[in-house]
A and B are shown apart, each in its own frame.
Chain A
Amino acid sequence: MSGPGPIEFGLVVLIMAAAIRAHVAQATFAAALGFIAYGLLLGLVWVRLGTVDVALTAATVGAMTGVLLLSAATRMRAGERAAILERPGPALRGLIAVLCIAVSAAIALVVLMPADPAPTLAPAAAANNLHATGVGNPVTAVLMAYRAIDTLLVNVVLLIAVVAVWSMAPDSLWGGRPGPTPVRQDNEALTFLARLLPPIAVGVGIYLLWNDINEPGGAFQGGAILAAMWILARMAGLVDAPAIGRLSLRLALVSGPVVFLTAGFAGFALAEGFLAYPSGWERPVIIVINSAMTLTVAVTLAMLLEGPPTRPPSPPLAGMPTAQDAKRGER
């Protein structure tokens, strides 16, 4: 590989500038904007490093993190002044700075002295890839076959994150809808985009899911793009968030982990064991799991951005069988 050119050095400078901006900006809002720029610029680095799957995930998820932080910053503007008083004193700050510089320097030294030859599992992955997993994209093979347990556990982590976020609601709002009541925006451009983009994005999401089998893409990336479209339509006031007690929402949230777990346990009966796929059926099984995961990741990310319920469940609780039972209980 040739040495770094002006593009590389330019990127490094811009990224450092954005990261510093995210630290030193007076207003949290401005800091969050700095972070969004930081995320987008980092996306270019992943591409330069030839890790396109990472670039896709990092760009979409990074944008979501940015939106999350930005909206939190706008809502909590009032509390910023008080917090500044709690900054540690200059001596302690200096000490922490020295510590952080030491950590950076140590990592830098390690980065400059790589093991030679660099250890890699790429040949092992390559040797097993196509014939044993039926998928051409090596990253998908790692996520769905060799290290399927990590992917399965991350699905569970995301599901739990939704429950954890919901748990921040006051008791009286449990079962209600999250986020603000939709107000149709007068901004015609936004409405137009919000109508135009989602169908395209659904196409892109499905393409990424499908593409993933041989080329970069996948459930996390496809799901993240679908979730981003939801947020866009939501901002334009075209849709409203579902009540968190709704059965269909709950089913969508659990379908990924449930399909994955079912396939995993089926491996005991049909293949070599847990998370092993029956010989010759690897490809269709992985496609089914990936499809369910894409749906779940999309709904999960959208719900993580929506936050806890903010509006009480409106009686009668549509889709909540529990309410009818309660009435029956009263009689």
Chain B
Amino acid sequence: MTLTITSLYGLLGAALVGLGLYGLLVQPHPLRKILAFNVMGGGLFLVFDVVARRGAAAWFPADPVPQAFVITAIMMALAGTALAVAIMLRLFAETGRVTLRPEPPASSDGQGGDS
């Protein structure tokens, strides 16, 4: 079996998914987790793009449908990242630290919501 360019990039995608997944699970700082999530996303999109490239047919250099999927998913990864960063910065402003360790539940007075 000869290694094609497409397969090589597919393997790269597979490696990046594992690397990102490891960071997402192991990194303690939420910002590092989000970074790892984006690394994983890059690998995932690469795997999807390899699928597109293999589907080259008609006069298209690659199957347009998975390309559209990747473009759509890239926008959604950005939306999730922006929200995560916004929560982190607010948390940092409130407490001066950013951690995912749940605090011991204080006795809640009042409902959620500021109303």
Q: Which residues of A contact B (CB under 8 A)?
A: 1-4, 8-9, 12, 15-16, 19-20, 22-23, 28, 31-32, 35, 38-39, 42, 45-46, 48-51, 53-54, 57-58, 61-62, 64-65, 68-69, 72-73, 75-76, 78-80, 82-88, 93, 96-97, 100-101, 103-105, 107-108, 111-112, 114, 118-123, 125-126, 138-139, 141-143, 146-147, 150-151, 154, 157-158, 160-161, 164-165, 168-169, 171, 218, 220, 301, 304-305, 307-308
Cross-chain contact of A141 among B1, B64, B99, B100 (Cβ < 8 A): B64
Are A65 and B19 in contact, CB atoms less than 8 angstroms apart? no
For residue B57, which residues in chain A have a CB less than 8 angstroms away from its CB? 120, 122-123, 126
- Alpha-carbon distance between A73 and B34 when the two chains are bound, in angstroms: 11
Could you show 6 A-B contacts with beta carbons less than 8 Å apart? Answer: A23-B32, A49-B49, A57-B75, A58-B42, A68-B81, A122-B60
Are B85 and A57 in contact, CB atoms less than 8 angstroms apart? no
Any A CB within 8 A of the CB of B106: no
User: Which of A3, A45, A54: most chain B Cβ within 10 A?
Assistant: A54
Are A100 and B22 in contact, CB atoms less than 8 angstroms apart? yes
Q: How far is the CB of A304 from chain B (nearest CB, A)?
A: 4
Are B67 and A100 in contact, CB atoms less than 8 angstroms apart? no
A-contact 0/1 string along B86-102, CB 8 Å cutoff: 11111010001111110
Are A168 and B35 in contact, CB atoms less than 8 angstroms apart? no
Are B86 and A38 in contact, CB atoms less than 8 angstroms apart? no
- Alpha-carbon distance between A123 and B56 when the two chains are bound, in angstroms: 9
Q: How far is the CB of B42 from chain A (nearest CB, A)?
A: 5
- Alpha-carbon distance between A100 and B43 when the two chains are bound, in angstroms: 13
User: Which of A31, A103, A147, A171: most chain B Cβ within 10 A?
Assistant: A31
Cross-chain contact of A154 among B16, B75, B99 (Cβ < 8 A): B75
Are A120 and B55 in contact, CB atoms less than 8 angstroms apart? yes
- Alpha-carbon distance between A143 and B75 when the two chains are bound, in angstroms: 13
User: By DSSP majority rule, is chain B's interface helix, strand, loop, or mixed?
Assistant: helix
Residue of B nearest to A2 (CB): B5
Q: How far is the CB of B5 from chain A (nearest CB, A)?
A: 5
- Alpha-carbon distance between A101 and B19 when the two chains are bound, in angstroms: 8
Are A305 and B82 in contact, CB atoms less than 8 angstroms apart? yes
For residue B59, which residues in chain A have a CB less than 8 angstroms away from its CB? 126
- Alpha-carbon distance between A76 and B88 when the two chains are bound, in angstroms: 9
Are A119 and B68 in contact, CB atoms less than 8 angstroms apart? no
- Alpha-carbon distance between A149 and B57 when the two chains are bound, in angstroms: 25
Cross-chain contact of A51 among B28, B53, B72 (Cβ < 8 A): B53
Residue of A nearest to B39 (CB): A19
For residue B12, which residues in chain A have a CB less than 8 angstroms away from its CB? 12, 15-16, 45
- Alpha-carbon distance between A138 and B55 when the two chains are bound, in angstroms: 13
Cross-chain contact of B56 among A122, A143, A307 (Cβ < 8 A): A122
Are B39 and A139 in contact, CB atoms less than 8 angstroms apart? no
For residue B45, which residues in chain A have a CB less than 8 angstroms away from its CB? 54, 58
User: Which of B2, B32, B59, B61: most chain A Cβ within 10 A?
Assistant: B32
